Structure 1
Amino acid sequence: MLRRSAPLLALALLAALFTAPASADHAGPAPGPTAAYNTYGWWQHGSLRWREEFHGALGSDWKASGAGLRHGGNVRNQNGMLTLNTGDRGTVRATLKRGGAAYGRWETRLRLRRYGNAADNYSVVTELVPEVGRNQWCGARNVALEKYRIRWNAVRTYARTRKDNEFRDKHPLRIGNDEWHTFGVEITPDRITWFIDAHIVGIEERPEAISGTPLTIRFKMQAQNGKQMNRSRMQMDWVRSWNLNGTRGEASEPNAHDRNEGISTPSAGTYPLGLQLGGGALPLSLTSHRAESWFRPAPA
């Protein structure tokens, strides 16, 4: 049997404990969804703000709302997952009532299931919204970690700072039933960065995209107004929030894979938010930047 001396063993243990996390190796198929928090070292330096793992009954920190609750929808914990069940019409939401934060990192792992396909599909939306008790500005301060419908060819993200102003983008990804993915966002005083399955997919550096409003997490199954919808459910395995101490306050930087895949800058425009909140999809006119240009200032 191979034996190791005590000094060598001690050195090996120290190396394992203090070696900085390496960039994730994304070559080849991944065994499952990967997360930004362990790819970019967000756990370091005591940075975890809060975590929700959804064991037991749904806690009082969560507020269920939406017209869908009157049409057979409900919000509950099911088998260790926060679950938003819809009826055949109406939006269903679950909002975290804890105090919010203007800057930090948020990430969740979620999936969708659609039952039937005879009607219209729900949009699956994870947003940061003004903390409970603050002016919600009719959605004009929201930042979306993701918005998609089953079989869409892209996931959409956005940041809103005024009632008629939105910085939006879309990222190629076709999602089907029961497919797990992780979605995250990092907000610093200078930048918003979006993550899908541990990859940086978008960076926004224009000051007018950052509201400075304390935000909290909200999950939403968004119906189209007045339309019959396909019964569906949205399930979250976990959601977590970190402050910026995890990387000593520095923004997460793209790794080689992110740059090779290309990172986009959201397009900016002035659009009536009524069109957004009604559930309709706006046509997108996007400015995308490939690998080498991710760091360039966004166009005015």
Structure 2
Amino acid sequence: MTPRTPRPHRSHRLLAALAAALLVPTLATTVDVPSASASGGSTAAAVPSAAAPAPAARRATLTVTPPVYVPGQAVRFRGNVGRTGRRTVHLQSHMNRPGDRWLDVPDSAFRTDARGGFDYTFTAPSMFDIKYRVAGGGVATRSRLFNARPQEITLALRGADADSPFHAVAPLLPFTVVADTTPAVRSALGTPPPIPGRTVLLQERYDGNRWRTIQEGVTDDAGHATFRVTAPVLGDRVLRARQERWDRGRNRIGWYASFPAYFSVLGLGEVLPRPTPVVPAPRAVAPGRSAVRPTASERYRWGSTLFDFAWERGQDLTSPPSKGTQRRGTWLDTSDGTGRATPFNGGLVLQSKLKHGGTGDRGTTTATLRGNSRSTGRWEFRLQGHAWEGGPRPFRFRLDLVPEGTEVTECPPESVVVADVTMGSSGVGVGVRSQRAGAVWSRRLPDVRLAETPFNMAVEVAPKHTTWFVDGRPVATVTGGQAHLGRRLVPRFSLVGGRAEMNGAQVDSDWQRSWSLARGKQVTSGAAVARAPYAAC
């Protein structure tokens, strides 16, 4: 006779039921499901939730799949709000910084079923360490932490080290290059997942710093695309690979380009660059997550933005701004060396090369807004800098407002200088350069440092004054009509380097915003800016 299994005591059953009710499903390991229910739309400005939702019932659940994704990839939110009845809910986000709060994600509303369940697809955010939850009707689920794997792509000779930008090839002979969209070059951030069948363009540099497509391929199951190229007689071919947009299903993944790679034929007396001894930069004490810093736009009530490039959801350099009343403009990236400009971690970054240390940092990299120019107005930027190496050849970072159509040069003859920095050193320069007026107006801000802790730089350009702000505080003003360039202006970011080996560096701009002069207080109370005769930088 089979012995009876003893029944658990009633108190044990109650404890087990309570524990089961508190369990929240973990991340599943499925792939994107294009057939999931309603999709989100645009990424307009986030606004605070009208009221903080009351705590949800204990059975509220939220599961997010797939567990590995890149910015803009479709992710599926499934669960239950813990209360019966159909209701409208939406996504909320939290940036996990001191002073942040839960904000409604625009265009993310959807309906639960009669049992409070939901099954909803939306695009993954670009920023690291951001929380999402489902809220509405007085209830909210527990949150889920999002850390998208950054997109990445490398280009190298087949079998060669993709970490190096320099490769030797034989004259006039064909060679094979491999574009890898799943490289382990950012192992601390995770390897991006392969997307088989994605178009990859092989591009060649021309006119010194521009790119044109010479071949087209597609990724295989491992995320690789292979190309056959012919070497020149002498000199080098400078190539890059660009994985194109992926908009299938609910995905909205922007294009992404590799760093430039040099494929060089060795001539008489020529050698590939050899490793140059560098001095590691002093290791900065890693700050905690940066608190929200004041902005001039809030302090002086500039009103609604004309444009705001927030880089929140997988946008690329030719995506229009996601917020603002005039959502126009795209970014043109150039490089005459080893660097690139690219979206990364919810911002626009300029990087001198792939790896932070070692040889291969040279040349000038820029990103210039095309379209949405103004002769007067306000612009504001959040900036952060990284000097990866120390030594005698630091990069120079410039953020200028230049007349639309200005050639890419290290020192524009006409510009409003928003920030002029020697990487790794304290001090930020501001001013106006006008060859036409034969003058340079400049001021140095010695206590401002472009380093690991972000800060906000803004400028107000009016017909009779220009004022600069740091974290909402006016720090410099030039008055008089002569300092007004009288041209339609656009922002330009430049990481300026020479042909010799430079000290590795990177600059991040979390967002780029613009306003008109129509609203808010105009400010002329900054410190006076000195005038000098015009001279080259």
Q: TM-score, normalised by structure 2?
A: 0.40
Q: Residue 141 of structure 1 contacts residue 213 of structure 1 at CA under 8 Å; is this kept in 2? A: no
Q: Secondary structure at the match of 1:240?
A: strand
1:115 aligns with 2:388: yes
Distance 1:271 1:204 in 2: 16
Give the aligned partner of residue 161 of structure 1: 434
Give the aligned partner of residue 80 of structure 1: 346
Larger Rg: 2
Give the aligned partner of residue 49 of structure 1: 306
Aligned length: 228
Question: Residues 245-271 of structure 1, C-alpha deviation per residue, up to 9 Å, x if partnerless?
Answer: 122xx51254xxxxxxxx421111113
Distance 2:374 2:403 in 1: 9
**Could you list the runs of 5+ residues in structure 1 that have no partner in the other structure?**
1-12, 14-29, 255-262, 277-300
Q: Residue 390 of structure 2 contacts residue 424 of structure 2 at CA under 8 Å; is this kept in 1? A: no
Query: How has the CA–CA distance of structure 1 residues 272 and 94 changed in structure 2, closer, same or farther, with 3 Å as cutoff?
Result: same
Distance 2:383 2:408 in 1: 25
Give the aligned partner of residue 59 of structure 1: 317
* Residue from 367, 382, 399 that aligns with 1:126: 399
Distance 1:32 1:235 in 2: 16
Q: Residue 332 of structure 2 contacts residue 367 of structure 2 at CA under 8 Å; is this kept in 1? A: yes
Q: Residue 99 of structure 1 contacts residue 131 of structure 1 at CA under 8 Å; is this kept in 2? A: no
Q: Residue 150 of structure 1 contacts residue 175 of structure 1 at CA under 8 Å; is this kept in 2? A: no
Q: Residue 387 of structure 2 contacts residue 424 of structure 2 at CA under 8 Å; is this kept in 1? A: no
Question: Residues 185-240 of structure 1, C-alpha deviation per residue, up to 9 Å, x if partnerless?
Answer: 001111000011111000100221111100001111122x3442111111111110
1:252 aligns with 2:518: no
Give the aligned partner of residue 25 of structure 1: none
Distance 2:381 2:316 in 1: 17
* Residue from 266, 291, 296 that aligns with 2:529: 266
Q: TM-score, normalised by structure 1?
A: 0.70
**Could you list the runs of 5+ residues in structure 2 that have no partner in the other structure?**
1-49, 51-289, 319-329, 354-360
Instruction: Compute the displacement of 1:183 (Å).
Output: 0.5
Question: Residues 53-79 of structure 1, C-alpha deviation per residue, up to 9 Å, x if partnerless?
Answer: 0131323111011323xx2x1111111
Q: Secondary structure at the match of 2:389?
A: coil
Give the aligned partner of residue 20 of structure 1: none
Instruction: Compute the displacement of 1:118 (Å).
Output: 3.2
Distance 2:502 2:392 in 1: 5
Q: Which has the higher contact order (CA 8 A, sep 6+)?
A: 1
Give the aligned partner of residue 19 of structure 1: none
Instruction: Compute the displacement of 1:106 (Å).
Output: 0.2
Give the aligned partner of residue 94 of structure 1: 367
Query: How has the CA–CA distance of structure 1 residues 66 and 251 changed in structure 2, closer, same or farther, with 3 Å as cutoff?
Result: same
Q: Residue 465 of structure 2 contacts residue 524 of structure 2 at CA under 8 Å; is this kept in 1? A: no
Give the aligned partner of residue 36 of structure 1: 296
Distance 2:530 2:425 in 1: 20
Distance 1:135 1:237 in 2: 25
Counterpart of 1:100 in structure 2: which amino acid? S
Question: Residues 109-130 of structure 1, C-alpha deviation per residue, up to 9 Å, x if partnerless?
Answer: 0101111213421122211011
Q: Please give the residue correspondences for 1:183-194 in structure 2 after superposition, counting only pairs within 5 Å.
A: 183-194=457-468
Identity %: 24
Q: Secondary structure at the match of 2:390?
A: coil
What is the RMSD computed on CA atoms of the aligned residues? Answer: 2.3
1:205 aligns with 2:479: yes
Query: How has the CA–CA distance of structure 1 residues 113 and 135 changed in structure 2, closer, same or farther, with 3 Å as cutoff?
Result: closer
Distance 2:350 2:463 in 1: 32
Distance 2:306 2:473 in 1: 22
Distance 1:119 1:228 in 2: 10
Higher strand share: 2
